[in-house]
Amino acid sequence: MAQTTTKSAGTSAVKIKDLRKMNPTRWITFTALFMALNIAVSSFGIPVPGGHLYLSDLVICTAALLLDPVAAFIVGGLGSFLGDLIFYPAPMFVSLAVHGLQAVIIALITLRAAELGKKKQFVVSLIALLIGAVIMVVGYTLGKTFVYSTFEYAMIKLPYEIAQALLGVIGSLILVFKVNLNGIFNKLNVY
C-alpha cells in the first residue's frame, strides 16, 4: 500500500487524513487515544486561586494539530462532551459545540501546513491555535452565560478561560514542535 505523502517533522494533518483512508484501524486508534486522554484530563483540574485550570485544551489543541478535522472534532467535541457528562454535566453541550468548533478550525487551518517549511508551519499553527483560543474563550463565556443564566458568573470565570486557552496553545506547540510528536509518529511508521 503506497502512501502519497512525504514524511516531515511538521504538522501531520495531511498524512493523518491519508491514514484515515489507507489504514482506518490506526486512524480510529489514534482518535480514540486522544479522546480517552481528553476525557481523563477532564476529571481533574489544577487548583488556582478562585477556580481550576483544566488540561483538556492541551489535549484538544495537540490533537487538532496532529489529526484531520473529523478526528479533531471527535477528540475535542465528543471527548469534552463525554468528560463533562461523566464529571460535570451542566456545560456538556457547550463543550461539545465550543471545543468541537475549536478543534475543527485549528485542524482546517493547519491541514495543508505540512507542505510548508518548518518555520512557516510553526507560524500557521500558532495563528490557528490563537484563533482556536479565541473561539474557546468567547464560546465558553457565552455558554456559561446561557447555562448559569448570569453574565456576572461568566465574567468571573473569564480569566480562567483565558489562562486555560493559553495553556493549550503553549503546551501543544511545545509538544508538537519541541518534543516533536510528529517525529515520534514517523518513527512508529504511523504515516
Q: What is the dihedral of CA 153, 133, 99, 182, to 10 degrees?
A: -150
Please report the pLDDT score of residue 5 as a whole number: 42
Mean pLDDT of 132-157: 87
21-74 pLDDT, tens digit each: 777 888 899 999 999 999 999 888 888 877 778 899 999 999 999 888 999 999
Residues in the chain: 191
| Residue extents of the structural domains in the chain | 13-187
Those residues with Cβ within 8 angstroms of residue 49's Cβ, 6 or more apart along the chain or in another chain: none
Q: Is the pLDDT of residue 80 over 80?
A: yes
Q: Measuring CA to CA, which residue among 95, 27, 94 is closest to residue 57? A: 95
User: Which one-letter amino acid corresponds to residue 175?
Assistant: L
pLDDT digits (tens, 9 = 90+) for 105-133: 999 999 877 677 778 889 999 999 999 99
Mean pLDDT value of segment 63-88: 93
Partnered with residue 54 across adjacent β-strands are none
pLDDT-based confidence at residue 18 (cuts at 50, 70, 90): low
Task: Identify residue 52 by its one-letter amino acid code.
Answer: H
DSSP helix/strand/coil, 73: helix
List beta partners, residue 48. Answer: 51
Per-residue pLDDT at 7 exceeds 60: no
pLDDT at 26: 84
Q: What percent of the chain has pLDDT over 70?
A: 85
List the one residue out of 77, 59, 37, 69 whose CA is nearest residue 176: 59
pTM to 2 decimals?
Answer: 0.86
Please state which of the four CATH numbers 1.10.3720.10, 1.10.1760.20, 1.10.287.3510, 1.10.357.10 is assigned to the domain occupying 13-187: 1.10.1760.20
Written as one string, the DSSP assignment of 9-70 is SS--HHHHHHHHHH-HHHHHHHHHHHHHHHHHHTT--EEETTEEE-THHHHHHHHHHHS-HH
Q: Cα separation of 161 and 165, whole Å? A: 6
